[in-house]
């Protein structure tokens, strides 16, 4: 094999036939190929190479033998008799493979630098997109502040750092922290005195909003945090303190700890950390706001929820309360029972229904209850109480009216209970007699807060031992359901179901009526439901319970 | 003193007697006496009240007790659970490390709160920070509590399989919020098979097992679950849409075949119609979890229930036949009804009393 033949592979065999490209032209054409073409003879000496070869392997010339010194990975491949290589050389990512043409080795070497960079960027971008999507999902999953804070550090490790510490804005001299100390480790939490925050200036600045950019921090500088300090990243590692922007003040400060050995994170990290900090901050400040509002709502609601029933000798009480399901526990129905404090024993009670539902109705029902409580302290005649209540509600001008039944139940002789009722516009209470007969008690009267000169009704009923009077709101009788889904539960069905409760204690009867209505509704929407059962019981403390219970 | 021996048959009989007389005072006193005598509150809940309550249910099925008596007894049991829980809370040390938070809820439409309440109290006794949301918990209420309290776990009770679709809705809400779900209650089927179908993270046959399991391993943060594939055929929603029509046909057929049920004063007539009226919902629930066992399980209860009430158990075959016609176009529902018919044929049905 001669050098000339090797410089001109196309001439091999067929010679210079007319119409075929000449040797010079072929050399030029092969220079256009974007791969290095290197032809070595059987002894390994370079016989021919194209122009690109000089770009990738400046030291390689025809007549030399490729070795690791002059031709880097190509030389190593030749020495090792490998058929392909893929390695960095002089700032390029080179990938080559060897073919054998007759007794010559032909190496085709391409520059993959751009392709590899694109692939790496694509991977990094996919990672970023997947990470931010996961972060969005996790941070949006809960409005609970503690859970959101735990999610922040869980998400940060290992995607952004080897360990992460979140310090929340201090309140009352202390700051809550959450830490994930290593990939896969459980999140730990604790409380830090503000004084130790002062010893890490980067943290203090991040929490006061004075440091909008991530600030590096010497790893040993975090030692002042004591038990909250994240693990030391070791030699060459770094710690980065990032403020999490909230609405107004920062929602926290995130410390990202990275050790040197895992240092291969992409340079675009800074943008990713910023994106994540933004999402985490938004989630944390939304959760904090929600917690405050939920707390406010819970406090207000606890003031509006029915108070527990008192324990009063001679009276057995039961109640059930189911606000309309779409109002998150707020309802316009109400009941209250308090021991009568005028020396006569027994209880005074009210059950009412403010028209409408939800929080607006609940607020007015709170107003009505408070007014009643105050009025009954100064006025014992129920009709007079209702008159004043009517006047006061009309003057408040809420545009809503209410129906209610109020009264007293006082133990009489031999375990009887004397019930005096007054009310306006409310459904007639039902009395369950011992034998299981049910009687409606017509109280009459007009709606409260509807007309200035409304008249109210009064009635009285005497209960023998274990007999019971049931007060209920129209959410019971107007519950639509049944086989057709549109039929009202109705007064008749209520009386029938109440009759079936003969012998049961008041608590069980109230629950059972509410249950019957729930079964009737079979999951359909309903108005507020309130049931109050007042039963006479012999005041003897023995274990007789409901003496009339059938065996 | 350990549970099994502490709750002697005599103690149990006395407690049953208090339940039979709806005697809250007596029942509570008995339980508190046991507590003072050194029986653990967990044993009182699980070895006295829970089995007594199971017996109450059986007495209702057999008509030994009226539904009113069953309710009265359940009410008393609930009051005793409250009493025992309050007394046990007095004995608990106050300065303990913050515990894992558990939210307990009964599925929408679920009114049998006692087993869930007992489970909640047992977990509280084992040191968990428990909030009990009670009966009939709808998704907005559960989600709002999850946002407010950030529980580490939601305990979900489902006592009858008819509520499985509603239970699934709650499980999905929990998963979306990244909160694992502990399922419990007979509604999840034998061995909790349908708890897995619905994507619950854990199932425990009883509260003590649940507490032991949780002490050993806490479930991982769940991810949003894939929807149930078999629901893609739309059969379930078609059954639900047809419910009023199915119910109308079913009741018409039963009243035609068993005229005695027409008299509202006839003993058990109302209860029988009401219970058989659940059949369309049972078929829908079977379809939802794609398991005919939901239906055959109901039939095995129905046989006992009807037999005790003097109604021929053939009424169940009649009822299945009535539903077959309108559901003919739904292959999975039809297969479940077939399985139900085969079960009734294979079961050695007790002859109704003459």
Question: Does the pLDDT at position B36 exceed 80?
Answer: yes
> Average pLDDT for residues B323-344, to the nearest whole number?
95
Nearest CA in chain A to B249: A483
Residues of chain A with pLDDT > 70, as a percent, come to 91
Work out the minimum CA distance from B78 to partner chain A, whole angstroms: 10
CB contacts of B149 in chain A (<8 Å) are 144
Specify the number of domains making up chain B. 3
> Which of A130, A479, A480, A549 should we substitute to test contact with B (largest number of B Cβ atoms within 10 Å)?
A549
Question: Does the pLDDT at position A109 exceed 60?
Answer: yes
**What pLDDT is stored for residue B32 in this prediction?**
95
**What pLDDT is stored for residue A85 in this prediction?**
94
Tens of pLDDT, residue by residue over A495-548, are 999 998 888 889 989 988 998 898 888 778 888 899 999 999 865 443 333 333
Closest partner residue to B248 (CB to CB) among A294, A483, A500 is A483
Nearest CA in chain A to B21: A549
Nearest CA in chain A to B74: A508
Q: B19 and B134 share a domain?
A: no
CB contacts of B167 in chain A (<8 Å) are none
Last residue of a domain, one of A56, A83, A111: A111
> Which of A138, A504, A509 should we substitute to test contact with B (largest number of B Cβ atoms within 10 Å)?
A504
**CB of B13 less than 8 A from some CB of A:** no
CB contact under 8 A, A142 and B150: yes
Tens of pLDDT, residue by residue over B178-200, are 899 999 999 999 999 999 999 99
**CB of B66 less than 8 A from some CB of A:** yes
CB contacts of A329 in chain B (<8 Å) are 141
**What pLDDT is stored for residue A323 in this prediction?**
84
Work out the minimum CA distance from A484 to partner chain B, whole angstroms: 6
Tens of pLDDT, residue by residue over B144-161, are 899 988 899 999 999 999
Mapping DSSP to helix (H, G, I), strand (E, B) and coil, where does residue A481 land? Answer: strand
Last residue of a domain, one of B75, B91, B107: B91
Residue A40 forms part of a structural domain: yes
Last residue of a domain, one of B226, B251, B269: B226
Q: How confident is the model at residue A360 (pLDDT cuts 50, 70, 90)?
A: confident
Q: B108 and B221 share a domain?
A: yes
CB contacts of A145 in chain B (<8 Å) are 150
Tens of pLDDT, residue by residue over A43-82, are 889 999 999 999 999 989 899 989 898 899 999 998 898 9
Q: A419 and A439 share a domain?
A: yes
Question: Does the pLDDT at position A20 exceed 80?
Answer: no
Mean pLDDT of chain B, nearest integer: 90
Pairing of strands A438-440, A430-432: antiparallel
CATH of the domain at B198: 3.40.50.280
Q: Which residues of A346-379 are buried (b: 16+ CB within 10 A; e: fewer)?
A: bbbbbbbbbbbbbbbbbbbbebbbebbeebbeee
Q: A136 and A216 share a domain?
A: yes
**Do residues B115 and B185 lie in contact, with contact meaning Cβ atoms separated by under 8 Å?**
yes
Residue B110 forms part of a structural domain: yes
- For chain A, helix, strand, coil in percent to 5 are 40, 25, 35
Q: A378 and A260 share a domain?
A: no
Residue A256 forms part of a structural domain: yes
Last residue of a domain, one of A258, A275, A296: A296
Mapping DSSP to helix (H, G, I), strand (E, B) and coil, where does residue A338 land? Answer: strand
Question: Does the pLDDT at position B273 exceed 70?
Answer: yes
Q: A133 and A33 share a domain?
A: no
Mapping DSSP to helix (H, G, I), strand (E, B) and coil, where does residue A413 land? Answer: helix
CB contact under 8 A, A501 and B68: yes
Q: B103 and B208 share a domain?
A: yes
CA-to-CA dists, residue A224 to A115, A168, A176, A193, A199, angstroms? 47, 17, 15, 11, 6
**CB of B138 less than 8 A from some CB of A:** yes
Residues 278 through 317 of chain A touching chain B, CB cutoff 8 Å: 290-291, 294, 298
Question: Does the pLDDT at position A12 exceed 60?
Answer: no
Q: A237 and A264 share a domain?
A: yes
Residue B353 forms part of a structural domain: no
All residues at 6 or more sequence positions from B102 whose CB lies less than 8 Å from its CB, including other chains: B120, B123, B128, B129, B130, B131, B151, B152, B153, B154, B155, B182
Mean pLDDT of chain A, nearest integer: 86
Last residue of a domain, one of B91, B115, B139: B91
> Which of B21, B143, B149 should we substitute to test contact with A (largest number of A Cβ atoms within 10 Å)?
B21
Q: How confident is the model at residue A4 (pLDDT cuts 50, 70, 90)?
A: very low
Closest partner residue to B178 (CB to CB) among A141, A326, A500 is A141
Residue A467 forms part of a structural domain: yes
DSSP A224-289: GGGGGPPPP--TT-EEEEEEE--SSS-SEEEEEEE-STT----TTHHHHHHHHHHHHHHHHHHHHH
**Do residues B338 and B348 lie in contact, with contact meaning Cβ atoms separated by under 8 Å?**
no
Q: A358 and A327 share a domain?
A: yes
Cis peptide leading into residue A113 (ω within 30°): no
**What pLDDT is stored for residue A13 in this prediction?**
44
CATH of the domain at B45: 1.10.1240.10
CB contacts of B79 in chain A (<8 Å) are 507
Nearest to A89 by CA among A47, A63, A118, A60: A60
CB contact under 8 A, A483 and B247: yes
CB contacts of B179 in chain A (<8 Å) are 142
CB contact under 8 A, B68 and A512: yes
Q: A450 and A337 share a domain?
A: yes
ipTM confidence score: 0.79
CB atoms within 10 A of CB B58: 13
**CB of B251 less than 8 A from some CB of A:** yes
Question: Does the pLDDT at position B227 exceed 50?
Answer: yes
Q: B86 and B3 share a domain?
A: yes
Residue B295 forms part of a structural domain: yes
> Which of B15, B16, B20, B23 should we substitute to test contact with A (largest number of A Cβ atoms within 10 Å)?
B23
d(C-alpha A153, C-alpha A135), whole Å = 11
CA-to-CA dists, residue A286 to A148, A279, A282, B147, angstroms? 10, 11, 6, 11
Structure tokens at B85: 């829980």
Q: A343 and A436 share a domain?
A: yes
CB contact under 8 A, A142 and B141: no
> Average pLDDT for residues A8-18, to the nearest whole number?
46
CB contact under 8 A, A290 and B147: yes
pTM: 0.79
**CB of B131 less than 8 A from some CB of A:** no
Closest partner residue to A142 (CB to CB) among B74, B140, B146 is B146
CB contacts of B76 in chain A (<8 Å) are 505, 508, 545
Residue A421 forms part of a structural domain: yes
Q: A140 and A99 share a domain?
A: no
Q: A384 and A532 share a domain?
A: yes
Q: A417 and A287 share a domain?
A: no
Residue B296 forms part of a structural domain: yes
Residues of chain B with pLDDT > 70, as a percent, come to 95
Structure tokens at A421: 């009722």
Q: Which residues of A63-80 are buried (b: 16+ CB within 10 A; e: fewer)?
A: eeebbeebbbbbbbbbee
Specify the number of domains making up chain A. 3
Question: Does the pLDDT at position A7 exceed 50?
Answer: no
**Do residues A134 and A155 lie in contact, with contact meaning Cβ atoms separated by under 8 Å?**
yes
**What pLDDT is stored for residue A403 in this prediction?**
94
d(C-alpha A353, C-alpha A335), whole Å = 9
Q: B334 and B262 share a domain?
A: yes
Q: B114 and B59 share a domain?
A: no
CB contact under 8 A, A541 and B25: yes
Residues 465 through 494 of chain A touching chain B, CB cutoff 8 Å: 483-485
CATH of the domain at A84: 3.30.450.20
**CB of B169 less than 8 A from some CB of A:** no
Work out the minimum CA distance from A165 to partner chain B, whole angstroms: 20
Lowest-pLDDT range, A195-204, A432-441, A443-452, B264-273?
A: B264-273
Residue B354 forms part of a structural domain: no
Work out the minimum CA distance from B232 to partner chain A, whole angstroms: 24
**Do residues A268 and A184 lie in contact, with contact meaning Cβ atoms separated by under 8 Å?**
no
CATH of the domain at B305: 1.10.490.20
**Do residues B35 and B41 lie in contact, with contact meaning Cβ atoms separated by under 8 Å?**
yes
Residues of chain A with pLDDT > 90, as a percent, come to 46
Residue A543 forms part of a structural domain: no
Last residue of a domain, one of A248, A276, A296: A296
Mapping DSSP to helix (H, G, I), strand (E, B) and coil, where does residue B94 land? Answer: coil
Work out the minimum CA distance from B143 to partner chain A, whole angstroms: 9
Residue B352 forms part of a structural domain: no
**What pLDDT is stored for residue A267 in this prediction?**
45
Residue A550 forms part of a structural domain: no
Q: How confident is the model at residue A262 (pLDDT cuts 50, 70, 90)?
A: low
Name the DSSP letter for residue A162. S
Find residue A536's DSSP bridge partners: A315
Q: A214 and A65 share a domain?
A: no
Q: What is the extent of the structural domain holding A463?
A: 305-536
Nearest CA in chain B to A145: B150
**What pLDDT is stored for residue B96 in this prediction?**
63
Lowest-pLDDT range, A17-31, B75-89, B306-320?
A: A17-31
**Do residues B91 and B44 lie in contact, with contact meaning Cβ atoms separated by under 8 Å?**
no
Q: What is the extent of the structural domain holding B150?
A: 98-226
Nearest CA in chain B to A500: B68
Closest partner residue to A294 (CB to CB) among B75, B147, B277 is B147
Residue A541 forms part of a structural domain: no
Q: B68 and B120 share a domain?
A: no
CB atoms within 10 A of CB A481: 19
d(C-alpha A393, C-alpha A2), whole Å = 116
**CB of A507 less than 8 A from some CB of B:** yes
CB contact under 8 A, B22 and A542: no
Q: How confident is the model at residue A549 (pLDDT cuts 50, 70, 90)?
A: very low
Q: B216 and B107 share a domain?
A: yes
CB contact under 8 A, B21 and A545: yes
Q: B274 and B325 share a domain?
A: yes
Pairing of strands A468-472, A430-432: antiparallel
Residue A122 forms part of a structural domain: no
Q: How confident is the model at residue B45 (pLDDT cuts 50, 70, 90)?
A: very high
Question: Does the pLDDT at position B277 exceed 80?
Answer: yes
CB contacts of A504 in chain B (<8 Å) are 22, 68-69, 71-72, 75
Question: Does the pLDDT at position A550 exceed 60?
Answer: no
């Amino acid at each position: 094999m001669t050098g000339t033949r090797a410089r001109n592979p196309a001439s091999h065999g067929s010679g210079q036939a007319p119409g075929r490209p000449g040797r010079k032209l072929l050399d030029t054409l092969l220079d256009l190929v974007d791969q290095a073409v290197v032809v070595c003879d059987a002894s390994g000496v370079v016989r021919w190479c194209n122009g690109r070869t000089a770009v990738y392997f400046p030291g390689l010339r025809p007549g030399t033998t490729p070795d690791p010194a002059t031709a880097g990975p190509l030389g190593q491949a030749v020495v090792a008799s490998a058929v392909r290589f893929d390695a960095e050389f002089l700032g390029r990512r080179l990938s080559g493979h060897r073919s054998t043409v007759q007794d010559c080795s032909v190496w085709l070497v391409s520059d993959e630098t751009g392709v590899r960079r694109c692939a790496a960027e694509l991977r990094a971008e996919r990672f970023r997109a997947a990470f931010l999507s996961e972060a969005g999902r996790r941070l949006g999953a809960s409005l609970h502040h503690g859970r959101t804070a735990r999610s922040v550090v869980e998400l940060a490790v290992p995607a952004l750092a080897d360990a992460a510490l979140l310090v929340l804005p201090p309140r009352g001299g202390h700051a809550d922290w959450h830490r994930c100390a290593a990939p896969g480790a459980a999140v730990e939490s604790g409380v830090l005195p503000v004084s130790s925050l002062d010893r890490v200036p980067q943290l203090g600045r991040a929490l006061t909003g004075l440091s909008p950019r991530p600030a590096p921090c010497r790893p040993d500088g975090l030692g002042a945090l004591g038990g909250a300090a994240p693990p030391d990243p070791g030699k060459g590692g770094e710690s980065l303190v990032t403020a999490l922007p909230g609405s107004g003040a920062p929602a926290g400060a995130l410390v990202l700890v990275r050790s040197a050995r895992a240092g291969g994170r992409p340079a675009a990290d800074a943008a990713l950390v910023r994106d994540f900090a933004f999402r985490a901050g938004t989630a944390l400040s939304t959760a904090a706001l929600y917690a405050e509002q939920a707390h406010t709502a819970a406090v207000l609601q606890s003031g509006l929820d029915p108070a527990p029933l008192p324990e009063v000798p001679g009276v057995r009480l039961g109640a059930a309360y189911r606000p309309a399901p779409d109002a998150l526990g707020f309802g316009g129905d109400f009941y209250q029972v308090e021991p009568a404090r005028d020396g006569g024993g027994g209880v005074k009670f009210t059950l009412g229904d403010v028209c409408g539902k939800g929080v607006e109705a609940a607020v007015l029902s709170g107003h009505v209850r408070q007014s009643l409580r105050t009025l009954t302290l100064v006025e014992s005649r129920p009709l007079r109480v209702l008159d004043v209540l009517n006047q006061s509600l009309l003057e408040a001008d809420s545009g809503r009216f209410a129906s209610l039944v109020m009264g007293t139940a006082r133990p009489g002789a031999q375990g009887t209970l004397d019930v005096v009722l007054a009310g306006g516009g409310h459904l007639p209470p039902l009395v369950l007699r011992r034998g299981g007969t049910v009687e409606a008690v017509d109280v009459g009267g007009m709606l409260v807060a509807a007309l200035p000169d409304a008249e109210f009704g009064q009635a009285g009923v005497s209960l023998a031992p274990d007999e019971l009077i049931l007060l209920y709101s129209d959410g019971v009788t107007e519950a639509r359901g049944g086989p057709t889904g549109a039929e009202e539960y109705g007064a008749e069905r209520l009386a029938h179901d109440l009759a079936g409760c003969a012998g049961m204690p008041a608590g069980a009867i109230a629950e059972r009526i509410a249950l019957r209505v729930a079964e009737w509704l079979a999951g359909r929407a309903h108005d507020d439901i309130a049931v109050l059962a007042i039963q006479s019981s012999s005041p003897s403390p023995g274990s007789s319970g409901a003496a009339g219970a059938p065996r | 003193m350990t549970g099994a021996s502490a709750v002697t048959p005599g103690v149990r009989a006395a407690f049953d007697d208090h339940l039979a007389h709806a005697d809250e005072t007596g029942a509570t006193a008995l339980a508190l006496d046991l507590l003072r005598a050194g029986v653990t509150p967990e044993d009182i809940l699980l070895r006295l009240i829970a089995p007594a309550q199971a017996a109450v249910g059986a007495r209702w099925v057999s008509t030994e007790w009226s539904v009113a008596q069953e309710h009265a007894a359940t009410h008393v049991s609930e009051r005793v659970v409250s009493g025992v829980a309050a007394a046990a809370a007095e004995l608990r040390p106050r300065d303990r490390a913050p515990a894992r938070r558990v939210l307990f809820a009964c599925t929408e439409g679920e009114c049998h709160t006692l087993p869930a309440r007992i489970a909640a109290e047992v977990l509280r006794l084992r040191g968990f920070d428990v909030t009990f949301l009670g009966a009939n918990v709808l998704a907005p209420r559960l989600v709002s509590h999850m946002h407010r309290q950030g529980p580490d776990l939601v305990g979900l009770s489902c006592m009858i399989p008819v509520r499985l679709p509603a239970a699934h809705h709650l499980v999905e809400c929990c998963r979306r919020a990244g909160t694992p779900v502990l399922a419990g209650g007979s509604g999840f089927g034998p061995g909790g098979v349908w708890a897995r179908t619905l994507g619950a993270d854990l199932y425990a046959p009883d509260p003590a097992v649940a507490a032991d399991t949780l002490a050993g391993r806490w479930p991982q943060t769940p991810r949003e679950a894939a929807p149930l594939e078999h629901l893609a055929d739309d059969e379930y929603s078609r059954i639900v849409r047809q419910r009023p029509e199915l119910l109308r046909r079913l009741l018409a057929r039963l009243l035609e075949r068993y005229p005695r049920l027409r008299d509202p004063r006839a003993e058990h007539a109302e209860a029988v119609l009401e219970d058989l009226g659940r059949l369309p919902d049972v078929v829908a629930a079977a379809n939802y979890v794609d398991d005919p066992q939901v239906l055959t399980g109901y039939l095995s209860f129905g046989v006992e229930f009807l037999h005790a009430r003097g109604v021929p158990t053939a009424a169940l075959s009649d009822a299945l036949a009535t539903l077959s016609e309108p559901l003919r176009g739904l292959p999975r529902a039809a297969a479940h009804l077939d399985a139900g018919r085969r079960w009734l044929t294979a079961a050695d049905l007790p002859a109704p009393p003459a």
